[in-house]
Chains A and B, each alone.
Chain A
Amino acid sequence: EAGVAQSPRYKIIEKRQSVAFWCNPISGHATLYWYQQILGQGPKLLIQFQNNGVVDDSQLPKDRFSAERLKGVDSTLKIQPAKLEDSAVYLCASSLYGGLGPSADTQYFGPGTRLTVL
C-alpha cells in the first residue's frame, strides 16, 4: 500500500515570497491533516479536512496560510507571503475513518516538506 506522498521535499525561498506544498493521502483515507513541525518540537496541527470539508483550522494563520482539498483527495497548503518564522517541516497525515475523531484514529504521516525562509 502506498503511503502519504508529499512534494516538494525541500524548498528555499526568501521572505515575502509565496510557496505551495502538495499532499496525496493514502488511498481511501477520508481525513487529511497538515502539521507544522519546528525544529526540536512536536508536530502542531494547522488544519484538518474530512473529505473536502474543513473540520478544524483554529491554529491556521489565515492572514497568510491557506489550504484546500478539492474532490476530497489530494491537498495543497499555501503560504503567502512567507515570514522567517515559517521555516519548518510541513507534514501531511491521513487517517481512514475520520468519523471516529482525530484522537481515536491512527494517523499516517508523509515524509514532509522542509521549508527554509531566508
Chain B
Amino acid sequence: QQPVQSPQAVILREGEDAVINCSSSKALYSVHWYRQKHGEAPVFLMILLKGGEQKGHEKISASFNEKKQQSSLYLTASQLSYSGTYFCGTGPSGNTPLVFGKGTRLSVIA
C-alpha cells in the first residue's frame, strides 16, 4: 500500500519552515526519508523505527506516530540546498520491502 505524501509541492523563501507528511493506511514498522535532486540519486536522510522516536539531521528532523500511522518531516530555517523532492518509504514490518510515496517537491527561493 503506497503511503500518501502531502503537500505535493511547496515553495519556501530562505529561512522559512516546512512540514512534509507521510501517511499510511497500514500499521507501520518503519519510515525512511530521502531527498532527491533532479537527475541525482535519492540521498538518505533518516530512518525511524517503531517506537515513536524523533530524529534530527542538522536542521531537519522527523517524528513517527505509530497510532496515527504517519510520519512528519520538519525542515527549519530552510536553505537553498534543501530544494529537491522528498520521498518517504514505509514498511509494515522489517521483512517487507519499502514502498515509496509519490514525493513532495520542495523549492527554496532566495
Which A residues are closer than 8 A to B by beta carbons?
3-4, 40-45, 48, 56, 91, 100-104, 106-112
Contacts and interface: CB of A to CB of B under 8 A. Distances in A.
Main SS of the interface on chain A? loop
Interface of B: 2, 29-30, 32, 34, 40-44, 47, 49, 87, 89-103
Contacts of B29: 103-104
B95 A103 contact: yes
A109 B42 contact: yes
Contact of B97 (A4, A102, A110): A102
Given A42-B87, A43-B42, A103 B101 contact: no
A107 B44 contact: yes
Given A102-B95, A103-B95, A107-B98, A43 B44 contact: no
Given A42-B89, A108-B44, 11 more contacts: A3-B41, A101-B93, A101-B94, A102-B91, A102-B97, A103-B93, A103-B96, A104-B30, A106-B47, A110-B41, A111-B40
Nearest to A43: B100
A109 B49 contact: no
Contacts of A41: 102-103
Contact of A103 (B30, B40, B103): B30
A45 B98 contact: yes
A56 B93 CA distance: 15
Nearest to B44: A106
